[in-house]
Each structure stands twice: as structure tokens, then as C-alpha cells.
Amino acid sequence: MILRHTIMSGCLAVAVSLSCATLAQAQAGTEKFTATATVKTAGGIEAAAPVTITIDRKMPEAEANTLLDAFKSGGAAELRQALVGVPPTGYVQLADGAPIPTRITIELPTDKGRLISLVTDTPLLFLGAGVPGAKPKDGYDFAVIDIEVDSSGAGSGTLAPAARVRVNGSAFVVEDYAPDLIRLAAVKKAK
């Protein structure tokens, strides 16, 4: 399993301090991105699959704060409860699979453009022992996607298709179910 301090922690922390005007500007319009998810296992197995990310809305500051507070106070269970009734922020689709709603979408400016972090409240795929369809494991209830794109919408990112999210000090830590990092290559904004 891969442990990584996710960029989402920075997004959530900074989202708290961003002005409402900046967030309102980031809210406008639906965006669609395509990418290729790639993984190479320690055993030498390589796999790739297309990914489509549709963003219908980004979280306003007050909504992000509510979810952040819920997670900090009660972990994943409290976050799941806080998401009840919250409309999806968009969808993510792996290959020809069903679109899965994203429940959290946060955007931050970066020196290269912008960072978009998305979270689903259901796993997209259990990838274990180098093969899709590995046995589900309790606690890996989310998927976390981070993409960094430039002003033209091109970039790269990472995907944790089945993840456990926890807090370690002030940072959020994403523990991937998969033993190998899944990279998102050739991220492009669809016209």
C-alpha cells in the first residue's frame, strides 16, 4: 500500500483561507478532462486505461469548511454523514465503466496553473496484486484524484482508486489500496 500526504490537505487548508470572490470566479462552468491512468507494478506488469473527469461545480468555501470540520472531528464516518444531501460536484469514469459521482472538488492556484482535487465517496476500482478486480477491503471507501493543469488545461496527476483517508497531525494522508502509484498522464481539457 502506498501512503502519501495528499495535495488535498493543502487544498482543504488553503480553501479555508481563500476569499469568496476568488472561489466564486472558480465556480463558473462545467469542465471536462481526459487522461490516461497508468501503473507499472513492482512485478513488471503495466496497465493503462482512459479516464474522463467531469467537473460540474467546485466547492464554495463554506461547504468545504463544513466537510473539513466533519472530517477533523469524526474521520471518514463523520465526513460520510456530512456528505448526505450534498449534490455531486461532477463525475469520474474509468474506461467504459459507469460514471461515479465526485463528492468533493476543490481548486487552488499553483505556480504552474491550478490544482484540482476530487474525492468520491465510493471506490472506483480495487487494484491489487497487479490486476483489476482485487477483493474489496473495509476502510478503503473513497477515491482521490489530484490533477495539476496549466492555463490551457494540460497537465498530469495521480489517482488513488480505492483509498483510506486519515489525518496525521495537520495533514491528510491518503493510503492507497493498490501497492503501486497510479499516475494520470496526458491530462487534457476537452474542448
- Highest-scoring range by mean pLDDT, 21-25, 36-40, 155-159, 160-164: 155-159
For residues 76-85, average pLDDT: 90
Percent of the chain as helix, strand, coil, to the nearest 5? 20, 45, 35
- Distance between CA atoms of 155 and 171, rounded to whole angstroms? 24
Please write the tens of the pLDDT for every residue from 39-49.
887 777 788 99
**With a threshold of 0.85, does the pTM exceed it?**
no
CA distances for 121 relative to 3, 18, 41, 43, angstroms: 19, 25, 26, 30
| Domain ranges within the chain, ordered by starting residue | 2-189
pLDDT of residue 25: 41
Q: What is the DSSP string of 59-127?
A: --HHHHHHHHHHHHHHHHHHHHHHTTTPPP-EEEEETTSPPEEE-EEEEEE-SSSEEEEEEESS-S--E
